[in-house]
Chain A
Amino acid sequence: MMDAMGIFDMVLALALPWLGWRLLASPDLFRAMVLFISLGLLMALTWVRLQAPDVALAEAAIGAGLTGALFLSALRRLERLSEAERRLAFAGKREEEDEIPPERHRRAKPVAYGLALLLLAVFVLLLAWSLAQTPAGGGLGPAVGEQLGQSGVRSEVTAVLLNFRGYDTLLEVMVLFLAALGVWSLTRVRLPLQDEEPGPVLATLVRLLAPLMIMVAGYLVWIGGSRAGGAFQGGAVLAAAGVLLLLANVTVVRQIPAALLRWGLALGPLLFLLTAVVCVAAGGNLLEYPPQRAGAWILLIESASAVSIGVTLAALYAGGRPPEPPAQDRGGEQGPGRDADADAGGRQ
């Protein structure tokens, strides 16, 4: 039995880089992205094999699912762009500089390329050798085990994530918030995301699944205290529901006021931050929860974070700040996205 699992491990370990190679080598970007998603799913399987179920859940939902969706929507946006270009016959008028084919890059300086490749190979081999050489280090596993009783949760990963290293997670939630902020600062979203009508099947599917997904998200957050799951996994499922709603172009989603969305993005980070400060005010250190109620506090933070993570990831998928209501739009003035089009048009 062990041997069978060993072979399975070996195949899995070989399949990952092979898929990676294939996806980067494939000339078709769409195929590359599909391969990327399947690579993500294989990664999730690997995490299960390596006894990291929390990571597996997050990888399947965020690493494969959501990142893949982001890639695909970006690709579609680019393709739509080039189609529009062709239609308007801009292509013929483009400047010569823009027309340098990728081959010129490929062929440039084969010696330097070979040398760099050699260097990379040497370094990777060196790394591999040193990884094989290293004696097993200490690790913090035992320390986590000792203190687990005081953390307020039974799941080790959640204890590390929300208590022992809660400060990391606080900053990480900020990174997510920052990403949404960055995307919003760049451009404004153009709804609907799909050109065509969603169709009855998708609409029904969304109506069926969305409530269920919200329930599952709640379950994942709840179960995170004792087993695999938690704010990120729950948030990712919420985000998936959001993406489905966006794709199905449900009216409710389009009509969410921008202010509410802002609050949705900010809720998790704000609550986390306030909790940290309250801990200081109560006489402890930053993020030092009162020992008896640590579990409840963690659950509170996780629930708020999950909501915000869900909203944030869905907003990232939408890919821009919500369009302002027409009443506030001043005539003749445009956001950066529209400016950009004007810019591109003005060049030829």
Chain B
Amino acid sequence: MGLLHNLGTVCILLGIPFFISGTIGLLRFPDIYTRLHALTKADNVGLGFVVLGLSLQADGWHTVARLLLIWLLVLIASSASCHLVARAALRKKIEPWSRP
């Protein structure tokens, strides 16, 4: 396999810790806002790396374009849903957590 393929693998491997840390944040953080923060931020970077890695390994522009589209859609969806969840939480008068 060529250099590009290896580079792609490295990128994908780089993306994994972000996902893991995002998930840990989702599970361990104290309140809904911090959890949202952890999830969306870390996962978006993680996904970025994975998409980058897969694009490097892709066998044509079609695939790359599709991967980029997926990335874009996930970005839009996650930021919008993050916003909506946070707004709903604020509406319900859930106080943001502060260090006790």
Contacts and interface: CB of A to CB of B under 8 A. Distances in A.
> Within the complex, are A and B direct neighbours (CB within 8 Å)?
yes
Contacts of A196: 91
Contact of A199 (B73, B76, B87): B87
B80 interface: yes
Contact of B84 (A202, A208, A212): A202
How would you classify the secondary structure of chain B's contact residues: helix, strand, loop or mixed? Answer: helix
Interface of A: 196, 199, 201-202, 205, 208-209, 212
A208 B76 contact: yes
8 contacts: A199-B84, A199-B87, A201-B80, A201-B83, A201-B84, A202-B80, A202-B84, A209-B76
A182 to B, nearest CB: 31
A197 to B, nearest CB: 11
Nearest to A209: B76
Interface in B52-97: 73, 76, 80, 83-84, 87, 91
A196 B88 CA distance: 10
A211 B84 CA distance: 21
A20 B64 CA distance: 37
A66 to B, nearest CB: 16
A41 to B, nearest CB: 14
Contacts of A208: 76
A212 B87 CA distance: 25
A205 B76 contact: yes
Contacts of A199: 84, 87
Contacts of B80: 201-202, 205
Contacts of A209: 76
Interface string B32-68: 0000000000000000000000000000000000000
B12 to A, nearest CB: 15
A205 B83 CA distance: 11
Contacts of A202: 80, 84
A112 to B, nearest CB: 40
B100 to A, nearest CB: 25
A196 B80 CA distance: 17
A209 B80 CA distance: 11
A229 to B, nearest CB: 14
Contacts of B83: 201
B19 to A, nearest CB: 15
Contacts of A201: 80, 83-84, 87
